[in-house]
Structure 1
């Protein structure tokens, strides 16, 4: 038992050492403004890679947004490379000082995020369906605004502190006013 506790402590210590504070990016430009970025339709392309690096699934997402009071609603329509479809509707609420909270049907509890400079760090637990079972995954999203119309996202997915894969996603604003 002592050996197990020592190993668990070592794993948790190593995994917590690699965390970067989002405020490190506070001076990075262009500054990310979520309401502005999602003020018009957004198209995204992404992939999920297993821990080994193998691409397990590719997908496209169409996102439309609207304001409801203080909330920013993101309606995401996914199309996966195997032909399956999924919808996720986020309700994002500004909490002040660059902080955001969010809820969605497959998110466990409340997602917590913080914007600093061109970066958003978003952390939440997600119920992920895989082959007829559902797994609760910890998601650690890092989103970086590259220019006014392009956002890059890299997400680490883990279970019980062990990374099981990564999601890479590129967002591009569509429609009138988007840079061509």
Structure 2
């Protein structure tokens, strides 16, 4: 009986401790400068340099991206060409829609449903599910993607990848506007 009570107490304490942890909100960055305007930054040609790390932090893959970006009013196209360290390539074309209050939606052929994002201050927070080919099959992976404008030319990007709530790893990118 004592052991069950001890286990129950430990479980409740852990749950309470975890509920005290909060995740960042994009509004936390409202006062940060330089202010990110997605339509201005993602317009023209950008180069990106990135790594994928597994959940232990080991670099699994390196890649570069050349992005051709354009906007017509509130609708944008981000045409991304990935070149991976193993010699493979991939193309993803995002179709973005700017909404009110700094919100955006996005779609791409390998995105399941619609991506949801919001910008505030120097930050952009973006969530979506990506259909990734892995070992001859396709798995759906959730991305929690944060971008931070550092200068008018440089943006840093960090994305956590999860499947069923379990961490698979992270993608880290630096974007450089030409």
TM-score scaled by structure 1?
0.87
Separation in 2, partners of 1:120, 1:151: 10
Look up the match of 1:153: 157
Q: Are 2:60 and 1:56 equivalent residues in the alignment?
A: yes
Aligned pair count?
166
Moved over 2 A (4+): 13-18, 67-70
Say whether the 8 Å CA contact 1:40–1:64 is kept in structure 2. Answer: yes
Q: Which runs of 5+ in 2 are unaligned?
A: 1-10
Deviations 1:121-169 (CA, angstroms, capped at 9, x unpaired): 0000000111212110000000000000000000000000111100000
Q: Are 2:122 and 1:98 equivalent residues in the alignment?
A: no
Look up the match of 1:32: 36
Separation in 2, partners of 1:14, 1:125: 25
Deviations 1:53-112 (CA, angstroms, capped at 9, x unpaired): 111100000000122453110000000000000000000101110000000000000000
What's the CA shift for 1:16? 9.5
Q: Which has the larger radius of gyration?
A: 2
Say whether the 8 Å CA contact 2:116–2:128 is kept in structure 1. Answer: yes
What's the CA shift for 1:29? 0.2
Alignment of 1:41-120 (within 5 A): 41-120=45-124
Separation in 2, partners of 1:51, 1:39: 33
TM-score scaled by structure 2?
0.88
What's the CA shift for 1:17? 3.8
Separation in 2, partners of 1:110, 1:81: 29
Q: Are 2:172 and 1:164 equivalent residues in the alignment?
A: no
Structure 1's 67 and 143: CA in aligned 2 closer, same or farther, altered over 3 A? Answer: same
- Residue 97 of structure 1 aligns to a residue in which SS? helix
